[in-house]
Amino acid sequence: MDGSQKLPQRWLAGALENRQKGRSQAATALGVAGWIRYTAGTDLSGQPHAVDDPLAETFATLHRCHGDDPAALIDAFLALDAIFPKALRDDRPFAQQLLDALRRLQNDGVESAIAALIPTASDRDA
């Protein structure tokens, strides 16, 4: 509810801090991608749900215009300056993480998207 009002201080501020400190933004990107997917007004099974947000109509328009092109959808959301600070709008690695997370959510589901965040033993040893 009212995600457009809460996201900047609750998620994006942390993403900016992680960016500035050279830390991964992958978990934040997954959370934001999940929120973007939620704003489509349907769940991953296609079941409709209400999007209770002051920008719900804007989100619906973005999904109608760009819903078949995940990269364009991510760019359209990042262009919402009422939500995304310029530093994240211009952060192409963050945009790529959002795109990867959104695609994984849509194609493979939530469990796979979360599992992709967990490093394997070989990743930790590298």
Tell me the C-alpha distance between 48 and 83, whole Å. 24
| pLDDT (0 to 100) of residue 70 | 97
Q: How far is CA 19 from the centre of its chain?
A: 16
Listed in sequence order, the residues at least 6 apart from 14 whose beta carbon sits closer than 8 Å to its beta carbon are 28
pLDDT digits (tens, 9 = 90+) for 83-94: 999 999 999 999
Superfamily of domain 3-125: N-(1-d-carboxylethyl)-l-norvaline Dehydrogenase; domain 2 (1.10.1040.10)
pLDDT of residue 5: 94
Alpha helices in 39-109 (DSSP H): 56-66, 70-78, 86-89, 92-108
Low-confidence stretches of the chain (pLDDT beneath 70): 120-126
Q: What pLDDT, on the 0 to 100 scale, is given for residue 118?
A: 87
Distance CA 12, CA 10 (A): 6
The pLDDT, as a whole number, for residue 119 is: 77
Tell if the pTM clears 0.85, that is, is over it. Answer: yes
